[in-house]
Structures are given as C-alpha cells and as structure tokens.
Amino acid sequence: MDLGSYLREKKAIVDRNLEAYFPEAEGRASDLMDAMKYSLFAGGKRLRPILCMAGAEAVGGDESRVLSVACALELIHTYSLIHDDLPLMDDDDLRRGKPTCHKVFGDAIALLAGDGLLTESFNLMTAPESTNGISPHLILRVIALISGAAGYRGMVGGQVVDIQSEGKGVDLSLVEFIHSHKTGALIAASVASGVILAGGDESQIEAISSYGRKIGLAFQISDDILDIEGDSRIMGKESGSDEQKGKITYPAVIGMGKAREIQSELVAASIEALQMFDHRAEPLRQIAHYIIERKK
Amino acid sequence: MDLGSYLREKKAIVDRNLEAYFPEAEGRASDLMDAMKYSLFAGGKRLRPILCMAGAEAVGGDESRVLSVACALELIHTYSLIHDDLPLMDDDDLRRGKPTCHKVFGDAIALLAGDGLLTESFNLMTAPESTNGISPHLILRVIALISGAAGYRGMVGGQVVDIQSEGKGVDLSLVEFIHSHKTGALIAASVASGVILAGGDESQIEAISSYGRKIGLAFQISDDILDIEGDSRIMGKESGSDEQKGKITYPAVIGMGKAREIQSELVAASIEALQMFDHRAEPLRQIAHYIIERKK
C-alpha cells in the first residue's frame, strides 16, 4: 500500500464530513461558528480521525460507521489547540502558517470557540445519525474512553503539568508523563475507539491501545524534534519556539540522540503490539513509521 | 411540602455525590484537581441537579438513577462560571463571596480546570456505574440533549452574543435570545434529562421541556434584577456590576416593572405547562415560584 495516498484519501473523507456537519455561519452567533470553522479547517492532518478509521479497518470494520466519532476526535483536538494558543497559555500567534484563532477573532470568541468544539464533539458522537446501527453500549464505552483521555486524567492533566514544569529542571519520567498525557492519551483513545466501535474483542482492544500509547508518545517526541530541526516553511511556524519558552521536551531532557533512540524503540514496540493482526492492520503499521519520518 | 427542606435535602445528596466522585488531589496534576474542586464546592445552589432529580420525580422515577447526570450538569455549570470569570471574559474577582478560580490558581490553571470539568461531565454520564440499569439509548439521548444545550446552539452561543452586544443598543428579542441561550437552555435540558432518564413519554418530555425553557429564562431575569436590587452581602458580589459592564439585561432594555411582569408571566406559564402532572410535580411548581422570589 501507498501510505501517502491512504492518508490523502482518508483526510478527504474526514474533511467532507466535517464540512457537511458544520452549517454556514449565519444568525446571531455567526462569529462563533466562523471561529470554530476557521480553526477546524486550518490545515490539520486529521491524524486522530484517520487512526480511528484505521483501527476499525484493522478488525475488519467499516470506516463509515466510525466516521462521526472520528470527526468528533478532530473537534476535541482542535479545541485543545485553540485553548493552547491563547495568550494566557502558550500565547502563539501562528499555527500551521496561519494566525491563531484568537489573533483573528479575539480572545473571548476563541475561548468560546474551543468550548463550543469540545461540547459539540459529544453531540456529534451521540447524534442519531452517528449511532445508527451501532450498539449504544459501544458508543457509551467510546465516549467514556475519549472523555477520560481528553480530561483531567489525560490531555488536560498533561497540559497542567507541562505549564507548571516550564523552565524547571525535569527528568525523563516527568517528560514522559507530560507527553503521554498531553498527546499520547487522545491518540491512543482514537485508534482504540475505532476498534471498539467495529466490534473488536477485548484482546484486540488491548493490543491496539498499547500500539496507540506508543505511537502517541512517539508522535509528541517528533513534535519536539521538529521544533528544533524542522523546516519552518513546511511546519508553518518558527522553529526553536519550545526552547525559547522553556518547554519540556525529550531533546532538552535527554539529548537529541537519545530522543531519537527512544522514538525508534517506541515505533518498533508499537508494531510488535500489532502482531495478532493481519494485513488489514498494514495502515497502522505504516502510520507508526510515518510518525517519526514526518516533516510537519 | 416545604420547599426549603426539599432544596436542602437534595443539595446535600448532590454534594455528597460530587465529593465522592472527585478524589483527594494528589500526584502531578494536583493543582488542577484542587482548582476544579475549589469552584465545584464554592457554594452553588445545585439548581440544575435538583431540577434533574425533580424532573425524574415528576414522572414517578427514582432520583438515585439520575444522580450521575444530575452531578454532570453541575460540572458543566461550574465550568461555564470559571470560563466566564476569566479576565478575557467578564474579568470577575469574586463569585459567591469568594475569589474566583483564576484569582486563586492563575488564569491558565483556571482555563484548564474549566476544560477538565466540561470533559469530565461526559465521563461521569457514561461511567459504568452511571449507566447501570438505564437503557443506553436514553443515556445517549440525554448526552445529545445536554451537549446541544451547552454548546454553540445553546449556552456557548448565548455567551458569544452576550459579549458582542455589551454596550450596544439592544431590543427585547435580543435580550431574550441571550438569556434563553446563555442560561435557559441548560436549565431546560436539566429538567428534561430527568424525565427522559426516568422513562417519561414524549408528551411528558415536551411539557417539562416547555416548563424548563420558561423557568430558565425567568431565572436569568432574576439574576438581572438581583444584580440591581439584591443585597450584596447575601449574593457574595457587588450589586450593580451588570450596569457597570454594559451588560444586556431585561431591566436595562425594558425597565424594572416590565421585567418583573414578564417574569411573573413566565412562572405562571411554566406551571401551566405542568398541568398533566399530579402531586409528584409539586417540587417543580414550587421551584418555579422560588426562582423569582430568591434572594441570591
């Protein structure tokens, strides 16, 4: 298989669905809708939705059945970026080469756009058209999984520790905690959700969750490395911003060589975790490699 | 029945459940948990959870079965207050007589505490112990209802229009839009959720939703009036702050007399909407009166 075509094709499906889901902004709160859509269509890779679809595919499931949850994951990811970029958080002016949401719409609307996207993700997961033909027990399980991974035990908790550790001396266990919570948890939940909704059994769910945790951590280490070595034209933001902000990164804590080593080990272990799966897990295997080879 | 005892008893049940749900803050993200709990236990009336329980009671349901959703509603309400108070929004230093979340924990932690509470509300609604014995279809319907009411079509949308209208000339239809979205939608969803989870039929759900929309709007008009006429010692904040901020209120738009008149009409109509219910809806009837007679 050609991963490039696979990713492009899946991204197009996600984009079409997200566009269909959000109506044209009109009426009294039209700025809110504009702000939500501005960030949602600002050029994301749609990695989390694609992982959800690829998870379903790995157990022989139909991607169309997981599409609503896949799109909901992108809403959650987008909300987290909008709130992250706010002046009271990372205070970033650019994201993917474009002005951040609050630079365009103001801080208050950006905050509310994030709140709106997060809330809407749960509406999307429970809309009658999303749940059609899928056991409601499975949907409840997926909402519990995703909300757990996105909340204080996962992404939000990782953010707090990240902020509080900035500029302080940290060790490997702390940066691993931050990365696995801030980024890894939602990525792991994304791929596991696909397996759950497609009717995967418990051993399959556990194996794919293990894969997800490993690539989730590897993905954040890639972000760290790209921030130092990446091409700012490709990434759409200046390199070196993590260091400038005193951000906790793998290269800062253990050096670039060791960071790359851990990353390679994580990718190898993530593929190892997929050994019970046949060729239908090939996209997941290739995505694991892509995660450390990506340029943005 | 004595409404005062009823409200105190239900509030105690909600408080106990919220306390049991949130563990002692410990470990790396302990400030986040402290911030979430600080605002959650800052003296709220627990009106939304009580309405959810009273809704279940009105159709002969057992309040213990709706308790998780009831508590989840309080998490959503609390998140909205934390984000509202942030400097980039209303910039309030006091809430219920105590320093606001961001004054104690800083802006970033307060933002994330709000995000954490909102996300956790959906985890609470889908936790296995919440869903035990209730049809998962009904839980999905309630999540769809609540997320719709809390999101861009409801509370968040109302907030945006509220902010954008500050200091501008407005008319009655605009202030009605703001209040019914900002406050009314989640209050209506709270009472309707109780009816849905308790197995109410469609006509009961529709009648109670109508009741909820009316008292929700009346509740926000009470807030407007209390801001002008309330005792700041009882309310825990200075009176007159709405006017100072150029906030859109009923008294500002149509005058105090007319605001009170509309409020009384809403309460009468809300009780009218309950006519198909027997004595078990008595708490809801009394709550409607309480909403315009309350002192804080």
Give the tens place of pLDDT for each residue, A276-285: 999 999 999 9
Q: Classify domain A3-293 by CATH architecture.
A: Orthogonal Bundle (1.10)
Contacts of B36 in chain A (CB under 8 A): 152
Q: What is the pLDDT of residue A25?
A: 73
Widest CA span in chain B: 54
Nearest by CB to A136, which of B136, B152, B181? B136
**Residue B188: is its pLDDT beyond 80?**
yes
**Residue B255: DSSP 8-state:** -
CB contact under 8 A, B151 and A120: yes
- List the single residue in B with minimal CA-CA distance to A102: B88
CA distance A130 to A177: 33
**Residue A250: is its pLDDT beyond 70?**
yes
Q: What is the pLDDT of residue B239?
A: 67
Q: What is the pLDDT of residue A104?
A: 98
User: How large a percentage of chain B has pLDDT more than 90?
Assistant: 79
Residue B226: partners with Cβ closer than 8 Å, 6 or more residues away = B235, B239, B294, B295, B296
From the list B94, B111, B99, the residue with the least C-alpha distance to B241 is B94
Reported as a single tens digit per residue, the pLDDT across B29-53 is 889 999 999 999 998 999 999 999 9
Beta strand B94-95 with B98-99 is antiparallel
Residue A227: partners with Cβ closer than 8 Å, 6 or more residues away = A239, A240, A241, A242, A243, A249
CA distance B126 to A205: 19
The DSSP result for B149-203, as a single string, is HHSTTTHHHHHHHHHHHTTS---HHHHHHHHIIIIIHHHHHHHHHHHHHTT--HH
Q: What is the mean pLDDT of residues A249-269?
A: 95
- List the single residue in A with minimal CA-CA distance to B182: A29
Q: What is the pLDDT of residue A232?
A: 67
CB contact under 8 A, B161 and A29: yes
Reported as a single tens digit per residue, the pLDDT across A177-188 is 999 999 999 999
Q: What is the mean pLDDT of residues B3-19?
A: 96
Q: What is the pLDDT of residue B295?
A: 72
SS3 B296: coil
From the list B36, B196, B209, the residue with the least C-alpha distance to B110 is B36
Question: How wide is the angle at C-alpha A106 spanned by C-alphas A100 and A107, nearest 5°?
Answer: 85
Q: What is the pLDDT of residue B177?
A: 95
Mutating which of A103, A122, A135 best tests the B interface, going by the most B Cβ atoms within 10 A?
Answer: A122
CA distance B69 to B118: 13
Q: Which residue has the tokens 């989840």?
A: B72
Average pLDDT, chain A: 93
CB contact under 8 A, B32 and A174: no
Count of residues in chain A: 296
Structure tokens at B95: 């809430």
Contacts of A168 in chain B (CB under 8 A): none
Reported as a single tens digit per residue, the pLDDT across A92-145 is 999 988 999 999 999 999 999 999 999 999 999 998 887 778 999 999 999 999
Contacts of A118 in chain B (CB under 8 A): 115, 118-119
**Residue B235: is its pLDDT beyond 70?**
no
SS (H, E, C) chain A: CCHHHHHHHHHHHHHHHHHHHCCCCCCCCHHHHHHHHHHHCCCCCCHHHHHHHHHHHHCCCCHHHHHHHHHHHHHHHHHHHHHHHCCCCCCCCEECCEECHHHHHCHHHHHHHHHHHHHHHHHHHHCHHHHCCCCHHHHHHHHHHHHHHHCCCCHHHHHHHHHHHCCCCCCHHHHHHHHHHHHHHHHHHHHHHHHHHCCCCHHHHHHHHHHHHHHHHHHHHHHHHHHHHCCHHHHCCCCCHHHHCCCCCHHHHHCHHHHHHHHHHHHHHHHHCCCCCCHHHHHHHHHHHHHHHCCC
CB hemisphere CA count around B56 (13 angstroms): 24
Q: What is the ipTM of this complex?
A: 0.96
pLDDT band at B117 (very low <50, low <70, confident <90, very high): very high
CA distance A17 to A74: 11
Give the count of beta carbons closer than 10 Å to the beta carbon of residue B226: 19
From the list B231, B237, B223, the residue with the least C-alpha distance to B98 is B237
Q: How far, CA to CA in Å, does B269 sit from each of B52, B232, B249? A: 20, 30, 21
Q: What is the pLDDT of residue A292?
A: 83
Structure tokens at B71: 């508590």
Q: What is the pLDDT of residue B236?
A: 65
Q: Which helix (H) or strand (E) holds B98?
A: strand B98-99
From the list B179, B159, B158, B156, the residue with the least C-alpha distance to B251 is B179
Q: Which residue has the higher pLDDT, A148 or B295?
A: A148
Count of residues in chain B: 296
- List the single residue in A with minimal CA-CA distance to B134: A137
Backbone φ, ψ for residue A189 (5° rounding): -65, -30
- Work out the minimum CA distance from A237 to partner chain B, whole angstroms: 23
- Work out the minimum CA distance from A109 to partner chain B, whole angstroms: 7
CB–CB of A82/A39 below 8 Å?
yes
Give the count of beta carbons closer than 10 Å to the beta carbon of residue B251: 20
pLDDT band at A244 (very low <50, low <70, confident <90, very high): confident
Q: What is the pLDDT of residue B294?
A: 79
The residues that bridge with A95 in the sheet, in sequence order, are A98
pLDDT band at A243 (very low <50, low <70, confident <90, very high): confident
- Work out the minimum CA distance from B132 to partner chain A, whole angstroms: 11
pTM of the model: 0.96
pLDDT band at A238 (very low <50, low <70, confident <90, very high): low
Reported as a single tens digit per residue, the pLDDT across B163-174 is 998 878 778 999
Q: What is the pLDDT of residue A167?
A: 78
Reported as a single tens digit per residue, the pLDDT across A10-63 is 999 999 999 999 877 778 888 999 999 999 999 899 999 999 999 999 999 988
Q: What is the pLDDT of residue A241?
A: 75
CA distance A53 to B62: 40
CB contact under 8 A, A140 and B131: yes
Residue type for position B238: E
Reported as a single tens digit per residue, the pLDDT across B253-273 is 999 999 999 999 999 999 999
Query: Number of A:B CB contacts under 8 A?
Result: 156
Give chain B's end-to-end CA distance (angstroms, integer).
Answer: 22
Backbone φ, ψ for residue B99 (5° rounding): -60, 140
CA distance A215 to A207: 13
Q: What is the pLDDT of residue B61?
A: 94
Contacts of B138 in chain A (CB under 8 A): none
**Residue B26: is its pLDDT beyond 90?**
no
pLDDT band at A288 (very low <50, low <70, confident <90, very high): very high
Q: What is the pLDDT of residue B233?
A: 65
- Work out the minimum CA distance from A96 to partner chain B, whole angstroms: 23
